[in-house]
């Protein structure tokens, strides 16, 4: 049976792509075998600085000066990576505007105002400080995303 359509070689990495769990495992295995950072980088198709950063991320901190220095752990590297990614995103501005959102929902339900009318009225009459309000587009985006289910 001919298998000409199957890819048997390693997939090429795109520039700027994050390391996958399998690549972290390869780094751990090759580092235990004594490969240098440059050799590991050639094997997985990334920059040596990426390997150095991953090794720094995946080595747990020492608890004392006694005993052997801890080595790289792909599991620890993955856990630190996920924790860093969780904190890297910008928080929604809408989280700081709870009072304004309650007012908008009240106007929307009781007086049948549109979201645009609510924002315009609040701005015109200065009901809320500018940093505690969001624009009409943000409100509509949050409704479409399902984050404002009360409307």
Give pLDDT, residue 7: 47
Reported as a single tens digit per residue, the pLDDT across 13-55 is 777 789 999 999 999 999 999 999 999 999 999 999 999 999 9
Average pLDDT across the chain, whole number: 87
Taking the model in full, what pTM does it have? 0.59
Give pLDDT, residue 74: 94
Give pLDDT, residue 1: 47
Q: Choose among 68, 138, 69: nearest CA to 55.
A: 69
What CA–CA distance (Å, rounded) separates 79 from 77? 5
Show the beta-strand stretches assigned E in 1-141.
Answer: none
pLDDT tens-place values along the chain, 151 residues long: 454 554 445 556 777 789 999 999 999 999 999 999 999 999 999 999 999 999 999 998 888 888 888 889 999 999 999 999 988 887 777 778 889 999 998 998 899 999 999 999 999 999 999 889 999 998 998 888 887 766 5
């Amino acid at each position: 049976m001919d298998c000409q359509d199957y890819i048997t070689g390693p997939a090429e990495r795109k520039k700027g792509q994050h390391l996958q769990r399998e690549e972290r495992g390869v780094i751990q295995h090759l580092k235990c075998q004594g490969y240098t950072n440059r050799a590991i980088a050639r094997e997985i198709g990334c920059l040596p600085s990426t390997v150095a950063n991953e090794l720094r991320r995946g080595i747990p901190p020492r608890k004392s000066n006694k005993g052997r220095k801890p080595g790289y752990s792909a599991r620890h590297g993955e856990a630190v990576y996920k924790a860093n990614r969780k904190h890297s995103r910008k928080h929604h501005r809408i989280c700081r505007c709870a009072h304004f959102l309650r007012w908008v929902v009240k106007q929307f339900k009781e007086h049948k105002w549109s979201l645009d009318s609510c924002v315009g009225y609040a701005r015109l009459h200065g009901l809320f400080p500018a940093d505690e309000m969001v624009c009409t587009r943000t409100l509509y985006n949050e409704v479409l995303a399902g984050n404002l289910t009360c409307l």
